Chains A and B, each alone.
Chain A
């Protein structure tokens, strides 16, 4: 397939939304074509930034019409935000930024023929492909934890129905119960998030179910922001959050959904609510396309985010491995911009400059107490290396932390406007 015609688009897709105006499609003949698979943070950012250059035709493939952000979903869990306020319409993104949006699943990628196969069998050609598949769960690693068990012991690690399920369970939990969080070993999506979740669940319990506890069964002996979290737990929720590292209990090896129990190598823990966060790997299409290595993640060139395993295909976001960048929405957004300018340089000859890779996260300890980190990265020896890292400190004033919590809300609004091109 060498170019888009209206007939081909129509043939592709009952159910596919073609948001682009017809003159643009005609006008686009002969322009380089980039296909983006995945409408999460990395995929939406790269599609939007590439389309805004107005030199490349961009098609976004994603079965979901909306995206619910994982970041800030712990605030939803605690009753501090609605899920609606975390939901963004990909159709609006496509309309505003002249992206062709195909609301379908990409089932296969043919790197040799440079085409993507959609769920209805249609093939879509590309000059460059960007794959942003997010995460998948290694379900086999925790015995008994399958999709059915996840409906009883939700992971809530992809925001949406799983978040609603966990919220309902928290609301219906009896006072005096134990809310268990099984946290995975590194690397996984959003390293501080299990501990932010513990903090905000404790905030909810302190108000409504004060005899209850949060128990974290960790597959690690240390975790991101540990000193800041433990200081906050003793200040805000004394005696309510218990953290058990892997050296005490061993890894989580099984669950029993019937009794809502989590079984580690050493003990069995019965939960009132069990939030089981399984070990993770790159989203499944990456694995099927040969974009993953033995780690289960996608190695990339840190300058361009082109796969080191499949040339002409770029990968951004949580699915990549090969350096110090954490799996965060901010990282995905930063990688997507570097990838966008590298793809544009390759296809249109636009100038290339060293990428500025950056991560900054706001993490809530309580509604009026948040901390931030800021990390700069640079490509070195084929990997992404940390250059400088700064993080909030234990002992900062309540005023400083209140200001950060306030900034976090402003950051969310600006960041999601950057990714999705406007308000939801």
Chain B
């Protein structure tokens, strides 16, 4: 396979990924078409914030001690982050992170993380 068709399909997948909250089924299909090819990272607000998550949470979900994010849906992420925001316990690290995110930022990163996990993509 030459680079150009792969790039084209990846580009297509990225375009769909940007709209994935509207067409989650289409996103999955796009990835199934190209086994073994992961999409490029993107520069959406959710992706930029999620880069911070990846400093501690192993995107493959293999890590020990620090819970993976790959199994969480959007609503669960928002709910847990609001709980972290409200209290220094059980984790002052997550309390600090949660306090640093506005509601719109939290929504963006939760959507991005949930979509990434759904697509089997590394955040």
Contact = CB atoms under 8 A, between A and B. Distances in A.
Interface stretch (A46-54, A83-91, A237-245, A316-324): A46-54
Interface string A314-344: 0000000000000000100110010001001
B13 to A, nearest CB: 11
Q: Which of B7, B64, B65, B99 has the most CB of A within 10 A?
A: B65
A334 B52 contact: yes
A358 B58 contact: no
B66 A23 contact: no
Nearest to A345: B43
A414 B100 contact: no
Interface stretch (B21-29, B87-95, B112-120): B87-95
Contacts of B56: 360, 411, 414-415
Interface in B21-71: 40-45, 48-49, 51-52, 54-60, 62-66
B12 to A, nearest CB: 13
B55 A23 contact: no
A409 B62 CA distance: 12
Contacts of B65: 403, 406-411
Given A356-B100, A390-B95, A407-B65, A49 B40 contact: no
A14 interface: no
A27 interface: yes
Interface residues of A, number: 45
A372 interface: yes
B58 A414 contact: yes
Contact of B63 (A23, A387, A388, A410): A410
Contact of B93 (A55, A334, A374, A413): A374
A406 B51 CA distance: 23
A372 B88 CA distance: 13
B41 A374 contact: no
Contacts of A375: 96
Contact of A409 (B41, B51, B64): B64
Question: Which of A27, A345, A360 has the largest count of B CB atoms less than 10 A from its CB?
Answer: A360
Contacts of B45: 351, 353
A387 B98 CA distance: 13
Contacts of B40: 52-55
B97 interface: yes
Given A52-B40, A54-B10, A353-B48, A358 B63 contact: no
B92 A374 contact: yes
A64 B64 CA distance: 30
Contacts of A345: 43
Interface string A388-424: 1111100000000001001111110111011000000
Contacts of A410: 58, 63-66
A24 interface: yes
Contact of A387 (B2, B49, B100): B100
A85 to B, nearest CB: 14
Given A53-B40, A388-B100, A413 B92 contact: no
Contact of B99 (A27, A388, A415): A388
B66 A407 contact: yes
A224 interface: no
A391 B92 CA distance: 7
B100 to A, nearest CB: 4
A376 interface: yes
A39 to B, nearest CB: 18
Contacts of B92: 372, 374, 390-392
Contact of B55 (A389, A408, A413, A415): A415
B66 A414 contact: yes
Given A27-B3, A390-B96, A414-B55, 20 more contacts: A21-B3, A49-B51, A53-B40, A55-B40, A341-B48, A356-B48, A356-B100, A358-B97, A360-B93, A374-B92, A374-B93, A388-B100, A407-B66, A409-B64, A410-B63, A410-B64, A411-B66, A414-B57, A415-B56, A417-B59
Interface of A: 21, 23-24, 27, 49, 52-55, 330, 333-334, 337, 341, 344-345, 350-351, 353, 355-356, 358, 360, 372, 374-376, 387-392, 403, 406-411, 413-415, 417-418
28 contacts: A27-B3, A27-B7, A52-B40, A52-B41, A53-B41, A53-B42, A53-B43, A55-B40, A351-B43, A356-B48, A356-B52, A358-B55, A360-B56, A372-B93, A374-B97, A388-B96, A392-B92, A409-B65, A410-B58, A410-B63, A411-B56, A411-B63, A411-B66, A414-B56, A414-B58, A414-B63, A417-B59, A417-B60
8 closest cross-chain pairs (CB), A and B = A410-B65, A390-B92, A407-B65, A54-B40, A374-B96, A350-B43, A414-B58, A23-B3
